[in-house]
Amino acid sequence: MPPAEERSDAYEAARTGALEWLTASWNPQLTVRDWWSRLADSGWGFPTWPEAWFGKGMSAAEGAAVRTAYVASGVLPPPTGLGQLLGAPMLLLHGSEEQKTRFLPALARGEESWCQFFSEPGAGSDLAGVQTRAVPDGDEWVVDGQKVWTSGAQWADRGMLLARTNRDVPKHHGLSFFIVDVGQPGIEVRPLHQMNGAHGFNEVFFTGARVTDDRRIGAAGGGWSVAVTVLMYERTMASVASVMPGRKAGQLDELAGPAAERAASARTLGRTGVSELVIDAAGTLGRTSDPVYRQRLAALWALDTTNGYLARGGQSGRDGKRPSAQGSLTKLSRSQLTRAGRDAGMAVLGAEGLLDSPNTTGGGEIQYRALSSPGASIAGGTDEIQRGIVAERVLGLPKEPRADRDVPFKDLTIGTQRSAD
Q: How far apart are CA 13 and CA 139, in angstroms?
A: 49
Q: How far is CA 48 from CA 8, 33, 45, 55, 60, in A?
A: 17, 21, 9, 6, 7
Handedness of CA 216, 217, 220, 223 (dihedral sign): negative
Q: Which residues contact 295 (CB under 8 A, 6 or more apart)?
A: none
Query: Is the pLDDT confidence value at 421 over 70?
Result: no
Query: Is the pLDDT confidence value at 181 over 50?
Result: yes
Handedness of CA 124, 128, 129, 135 (dihedral sign): positive
- Return the pLDDT at 28: 96
pLDDT band at 163 (very low <50, low <70, confident <90, very high): very high
- Return the pLDDT at 265: 81
- Return the pLDDT at 419: 47
Active site residues: 234
Q: How far apart are CA 123 and CA 415, in angstroms?
A: 6
Work out the average pLDDT over 189-195: 90
Work out the average pLDDT over 233-250: 85
Closest CA to 70 of 9, 7, 1: 1
Q: How far apart are CA 48 and CA 383, in angstroms?
A: 28
Q: How far apart are CA 57 and CA 48, in angstroms?
A: 5
Work out the average pLDDT over 222-229: 95
Query: Is the pLDDT confidence value at 354 over 90?
Result: yes
* pLDDT tens digits, 356-414: 899 999 999 999 999 989 888 887 778 888 888 888 888 889 988 877 888 999 988 77
First to last CA, the chain: 55
Residue type, 396: G
Closest CA to 204 of 168, 155, 170, 262: 155
The CA dihedral of 293, 297, 298, 302, to the nearest 10 degrees, is 160
Q: How far apart are CA 18 and CA 147, in angstroms?
A: 40
Looking at per-residue confidence, does 269 or 114 come out higher?
Answer: 114
- Return the pLDDT at 206: 98
The β-bridge relationship of strands 140-147 and 202-212 is: antiparallel
Q: How far apart are CA 63 and CA 176, in angstroms?
A: 31
HEC assignment per residue over the chain: CCCHHHCCHHHHHHHHHHHHHHHHHCCCCCEHHHHHHHHHHHCCCCCCCCHHHCCCCCCHHHHHHHHHHHHHHCCCCCCCCHHHHHHHHHHHHHCCHHHHHHHHHHHHCCCCCEEEECCECCECCCHHHCCCEEEEECCEEEEEEEECCCCCHHHCCEEEEEEECCCCCEHHHCEEEEEEECCCCCEEEEECCCCCCCCCCEEEEEEEEEEEHHHEECCCCEHHHHHHHHHHHHHHCCCCCCCCCCHHHCCCCCEHHHHHHHHHHHHHCCCCCHHHHHHHHHHHCCCCCCHHHHHHHHHHHHHHHHHHHHHHHHHHHHCCCCCCCHHHHHHHHHHHHHHHHHHHHHHHHHHHHHCCCCCCCCCCHHHHHHHHHHHHHCCCCCHHHHHHHHHHHHCCCCCCCCCCCCCEHHHCCECCECCCC
Query: Is the pLDDT confidence value at 317 over 50?
Result: no
* pLDDT tens digits, 92-104: 999 999 999 999 9
Looking at per-residue confidence, does 27 or 201 come out higher?
Answer: 27
- Return the pLDDT at 307: 82
Closest CA to 177 of 100, 91, 113, 103: 91
- Return the pLDDT at 246: 95
- Return the pLDDT at 333: 87
Work out the average pLDDT over 118-141: 92
- Return the pLDDT at 271: 45
Query: Is the pLDDT confidence value at 109 over 80?
Result: yes
pTM over 0.75: yes
